[in-house]
Amino acid sequence: MRARKFKKLLIANRGEIALRIIRTARMTGLKTVAIYSEADARSTHVAAADDARLVGPAEASKSYLNIAAIIAAAKDSGADAIHPGYGFLSERAEFVRAVDAAGLIFVGPRAEVMAQLGDKISARKIATQASVPVVPGIETADLRAAREFGASAGYPILVKAAAGGGGRGMRVVESAANLGDALETAAHEAESAFGDGRLFIEKYLARPRHVEIQVLGDEHGTVAALGERDCSIQRRHQKLVEESPAPNFTQTTRDAMIDAATRMAQAAGYTNAGTVEFLLDGSAFYFLEVNARLQVEHPITEIRFGCDLVAEQLKIAMGERLGAISDPRGCALECRINAEDPGRGFSPATGAVIQLRTPGGPGVRFDTHLAQGVEVGAYYDGLLGKLICSGATREEVRRRMISALDELAIVGVTNTAGFLREVIASDAFARAELSTRFLEEHFPTGPHHDSERDTAALIAAALVAKDRLGSRDPQESDGARDSIEHSPWTEMPKFELWRTR
């Protein structure tokens, strides 16, 4: 058994997830070490940690992806364990090997397991051996073999990178005429993103749902499954909305999928937290991939099962056995708020947070690293925060999410909150008409209102309000009462002006 007790944890990540891990580590009595690039020197996660180390310039390749610098930071700070968060190095087997070689503990699966599951071809072999259904497919970058498969399976087919994920190196091919260009482009993108240009081709399911199972495995051979999450609402293979339990999902299918995910994890010898992902086509489901890390959408599982998945990760890494898993309760829904401009084809957005208004009330949680003055640059992933709502029924949660999105405002950085409000409020979402083509079918041109105009109006109003407050006579102030009655929000002409009504 490789696990042992540790006292100081380095978080090899940034932003929202780094802050999330620091908070749990603090609650479990661990000291924490943050790492940061030159661009993140004033980031919230840096201030929250007990210690912090600079690991390089702004470029991720020279900082958050710099294995040598991160290992050096851990050794220099006296950390004896590393949590990778998600993204960056979280699914790189070479990083796990470097952590092991340095005599440190990696909070996650073993390097050899991560390598096997991170490769789509070897992962499919494990699934097949465990009697987990897979979509028909072949490994090839050869045009002739690809055409033969396309003719046999029928178009459309899906070309994707054998290594990695997140939609990179992935192309949907509608006919044999487009296959050559798709293979060339996908191979180039896969090589650039993962250093591995191998391709896998499989039958493309036209309107599947994307459903995943959260698993936990300890060092003693126990594997537990914590229900399912529906992640069907995506844009360019990136998840935007997740919910649990999956709606319109029979208990028979749920039980079969959970059993398949458990078998898959056991067959791979999986330890720590991971997610087994499936495509659901009617009542049939097929193995997609394993994400050998904590998922962005893990909070909705935590809420339903009354647990802290980061705390469970830490316990498993220390060699402890899995405890009893509570029965799930109610429903939970998450919206990812990204720094993107929906009115301009979801182009990346940057800027400084001028004002931040977060929602509250029963069943509302907002996980974010944002604060007034925080700079959102172009170097990293654009996730600004995760808005999570919970309640007794899906409809209650849906309405709560609409209200929470109405309350949320991130002034200074164009974001997707208004667009997501439209999605959640739509009749199609209310009826749970879910598939991975949901946005193509119901929002083919993006938002139905002018989010750019509304966001600009909101920013302008906030700036005017700040100027008004700045010009007040200090003698007119009445302490806390004045700060509430004369905040920028109360000075604005109509906060809801940017929302869809």
* DSSP codes, 334-383: EEEEESEEGGGTTEE--EE-SEEE---STTEEEEE---TT-EE-SSS--E
Residues paired with 113 in a beta bridge = none
Residues 6 or more apart in contact with residue 125 via CB below 8 angstroms: none
Please answer whether residues 271 and 357 qualify as being in contact, where contact means their C-beta atoms are separated by less than 8 angstroms: no
Residue 37, classified by CB atoms within 10 Å of its CB into exposed (0-12), middle (13-18) or buried (19+), is buried
Task: State residue 165's pLDDT score.
Answer: 66
Task: State residue 484's pLDDT score.
Answer: 37
Measured in whole angstroms, the distance separating CA 127 from the mean position of its chain's CA atoms is: 24
Residue positions annotated with a catalytic role: 293
Q: What is the mean pLDDT of each run of 10 residues along the chain (501 residues)?
A: 82 98 97 98 97 98 98 98 97 98 98 95 95 93 95 94 78 94 92 87 94 97 97 95 98 98 98 98 95 98 98 97 94 98 95 96 97 95 97 98 97 97 98 97 87 51 55 48 43 40 31
Residues paired with 276 in a beta bridge = 213, 290
Task: State residue 500's pLDDT score.
Answer: 35
Residue 176, classified by CB atoms within 10 Å of its CB into exposed (0-12), middle (13-18) or buried (19+), is middle
Task: State residue 192's pLDDT score.
Answer: 84
Give pTM, 2 decimals: 0.86
Instruction: Determine the Cα–Cα distance for residues 120 and 290; give it in Å rounded to an integer.
Output: 9
How many CB atoms are located within 10 Å of the residue 423 CB? 21
Which domains does the chain show, CATH number per domain?
8-107 (3.40.50.20), 109-134+205-329 (3.30.470.20), 136-203 (3.30.1490.20), 330-501 (3.30.470.20)
Task: State residue 448's pLDDT score.
Answer: 81
Task: State residue 455's pLDDT score.
Answer: 52
Residue 437, classified by CB atoms within 10 Å of its CB into exposed (0-12), middle (13-18) or buried (19+), is middle
Instruction: Determine the Cα–Cα distance for residues 341 and 51; give it in Å rounded to an integer.
Output: 35
Q: Given phi > 0 = left and psi -120 to 50 = alpha, else beta, which region is 204?
A: beta
Task: State residue 13's pLDDT score.
Answer: 98
